[in-house]
A and B are shown apart, each in its own frame.
Chain A
Amino acid sequence: MQSHIRTFAIAGVLAVSTALTPAAFAADTEVTLGAQLEPPNLDPTGGAAAAIDEVTYSNVFEGLTRFTSDGSVVPGLAESWEISDDGKVYTFKLREGVKFHDGSDFTAEDVKFSLDRINAEESTNAQKALYADIESVEVVDPSTVKVTLSKPNGSILFNLAWGDAVIVAPETAATNATNPVGTGAFKFDDWVEGDHIDLVKNPDYWGEPAKLEKVTFKFISDPNAAFAAVMAGDVDSFMPFPAPENLAQFEADPRFNVVVGSTEGETILSTNNKQPPFDNPKVREALAHAIDRSAIIDGAMFGYGTPIGTHFAPHNPAYVDLTSQSDYDPEMAKKLLAEAGFADGFTTTLKLPPPSYARRGGEIIAAQLRDVGIETEISNLEWAQWLEQVFKGKDYGLTIVSHTEPMDIGIYARPDYYFQYDSPEFQKIMEDLNNTTDPAKRTELLQAAQKKIADDYVNGYLFQLANTGVVNAKLKGIWPNRPTQANDMTSVYWED
């Protein structure tokens, strides 16, 4: 009798354990990724939202060149290229035998169409400026394209690797927003708005085929729900995970790996350079000294993040560490404020977008600024309001945001950009940079640019956002770093 009971008990336990882990059996070729933001559409050439690239980049759409996990640029749909001696003509040799998901062939015509489309007048491409130097695109033969630039541009291969320059077919370009057709290792399958997007393996992929049959992007905006979904095994990976405070709990659980990589996200205290009193460089310098970066990284990010002293990623070889130039020194800040004529301080606005780095970082910065006499009126905004009021309307004193585009120091050369920094000197450096192809000279110019904006204290430079996330311990091949806004799933697989 007793042994009977035991048998039943064991059978019961087995039944329960299989019932609880159905995913473990079905999951060897399927992956569900968690993501906080749902893309507004799926056409990376037509919108600025990072979430578009996070689903489609490299999975569905490919460009002539592409980023790898470490941020280097490698051939994509272009097999190789030649650059003319004057640096103005790039001749791309395209891969052969590439097909779009609808079965049509990928040819030089598609490349010409895609690149011309970016610079067309009615183009809604979010990064038009990156490709403005492209003067003409010429089809030499079906597998050769000649791109002519109006002036040498050393970063054009890098720019072509962005999601904004992926190659699309003329027949499907108009419908890519809802039914993306690309050349990637995954095909778009289904989109249930507000819930998930399914991609399935492209059996006719030109390169190494994907190891997964199906990838699902599940959208969970609430950090608590995200935590529960990971803990329950509903999602296999969540990168970046929205609540850094939960990472310690994942770390303690053998089912998960916590991944800490780098991103291109310079998190800055953006300062409205045209709004008094921030038009006074002394005030901005005071601001820089009033901020204690380590307290912000510790308090808002639970220690994840690298302090920066300029708008540049620390993992980039050209980075110069300028953090000591804006050391935390409240006495110095008070002195500078007094010199600028604000001995009694002043009041300004601090408008914060939703991410926790901004909301929490904002409270910490407000307290630090209060210590030197600057009062801030905090208002918490949703992304749409933030884009409207701060980014477009420039109606703000201070804000906190992470600039996640790669190598985006060039934004400081745009006087109408939302922090309204207008320095002909800096613009000259950027122009020189674009006209330079020699790597050593480029590094020199990039460093000069970093120093210039640090010297001018354009913004408060806080920290480089870390790519912190949680991945099922058996799932391999997820990019630890985030060189661009992407979740490249092409080489992800389940380990037995």
Chain B
Amino acid sequence: MSDMSLNSRPASGLLGSALRSPSFMIGFLLTLLFVLAAVISFFWVPYDVTVLNIPNKLKAPSLEHWFGTDIFGRDIFSMIMVGARVSIAVALVAVGIGIVAGVPLGLLAAARHGSLLDEVIMRGNDLVFAFPALLIAIMITAVFGPGAINAIIAIGIFNIPVFARLARGAALSLWTRDYVLAARVAGKGQARISAEHILPNILNLLIVQGTIQFSLGILAEAGLAFVGLGTQPPLPSWGRMLAEHQTLYALAPQTVIFPGLAIVLTVLGLNLMGDGLRDIFDPRLRRAR
């Protein structure tokens, strides 16, 4: 590659600054915790979350049930593990939709900067952006019925303009660079330049934004589930756990504290990690160190 990117450094350098960044490390560890919980839940959970045990309901946290039991006597710890799987899957696919659809759109718009196509793409994105995301998500699930799949699609659609704008903005500034000019002189087409020279150089921005969008996706999934439009029972979901137990906050606080904490910590972790990543990738900040 002729254009070993402007920002890239030896991996050990990146790792080193990562290890030195406390916000990245805290965020990374929190995220890792929930990803691990989700992964482990595929192989093992303390209790089956689809089996109700009503005589055992609303038990306080104990050695047997670390986080206590919910209104149907299910183990809250197990539900949070499986719920992590749902949250992460929904957010991951939603961010994936945003990247897969949004980034090429943004790159295309940047390549054809000033053309009608650019206008159409960007105004289309503005249109989607103009609506409050959660409102449209509620509309989509109301029309097509509630469920995890529709929640993913709804959240995913709102990630498209985020990535399209980011990609276009970052790509535009790169199109004026000399190495892009050199590539054009060498006869490379717009598509090839976008893929070979632009994309690798905006990747760090996309990763940072992806992390932030990921946390917003988790929040959106919890919000949709809270109003009953996300994942449907019996699959546990953090948002629905909160909604189902909101009248029990005084009687059995563990039923709302733990799912609430799970949401807060995951979102916090992802945001810290995103902030940390931005600092690590940002050459100006790196030079200052």
Contact = CB atoms under 8 A, between A and B. Distances in A.
Contacts of B52: 295, 299, 363-364, 367
Interface string B215-245: 0000000000000100011100000000010
Given A299-B54, A380-B146, A380-B228, A243 B233 contact: no
**Would you call the interface of chain A mostly helix, strand, loop, or mixed?**
helix
A363 B49 CA distance: 12
A347 to B, nearest CB: 13
A379 B145 contact: yes
A245 B247 contact: yes
Interface string A275-309: 00000000000000000000100110000000000
Contacts of A380: 146, 228, 232
A249 interface: yes
B7 interface: no
Interface in A217-231: 223-224, 227
Interface residues of A, number: 23
Interface string B229-266: 00011100000000010111011000000000000000
B247 A223 contact: yes
A318 interface: no
Nearest to B243: A359
A22 B280 CA distance: 60
Contacts of A360: 71-72, 244
B57 interface: yes
Given A223-B247, A295-B54, A360-B71, A378 B234 contact: yes
Given A248-B251, A379-B145, A367 B51 contact: yes
B232 A224 contact: no
B232 A378 contact: yes
**Would you call the interface of chain B mostly helix, strand, loop, or mixed?**
loop
Nearest to B55: A298
A73 interface: no
A227 B247 contact: yes
Contacts, number: 57
Interface in B80-139: none
A364 B72 CA distance: 8
Nearest to A295: B54
A179 interface: no
Given A363-B234, A378-B232, A370 B145 contact: no
A366 interface: yes
A295 B72 CA distance: 9
Given A363-B72, A364-B72, A299 B232 contact: no
A246 interface: yes
Nearest to A367: B52
B50 interface: yes
A299 B234 contact: no
Contacts of B228: 380
A363 B233 contact: yes
A364 B244 CA distance: 13
A246 B58 CA distance: 13
Contact of B234 (A224, A249, A359, A366): A366
A366 B232 CA distance: 12
A367 B72 CA distance: 10
B233 A378 contact: yes
A366 B234 CA distance: 8
Nearest to B72: A299
A371 to B, nearest CB: 9
Contacts of B57: 299
Contacts of B72: 299, 360, 363-364, 367
A-B residue pairs, 5 tightest by C-beta: A243-B247, A299-B54, A367-B52, A380-B228, A295-B54
14 contacts: A224-B247, A243-B247, A245-B71, A246-B251, A249-B250, A298-B55, A360-B72, A360-B244, A364-B72, A366-B233, A367-B50, A367-B51, A370-B50, A380-B232
Interface of A: 223-224, 227, 243, 245-246, 248-249, 295, 298-299, 359-360, 362-364, 366-367, 370, 377-380
Given A245-B247, A367-B51, A370-B234, 8 more contacts: A248-B251, A249-B250, A295-B52, A299-B71, A299-B72, A299-B73, A378-B234, A379-B145
Interface of B: 50-52, 54-55, 57, 71-73, 145-147, 228, 232-234, 244, 246-248, 250-251
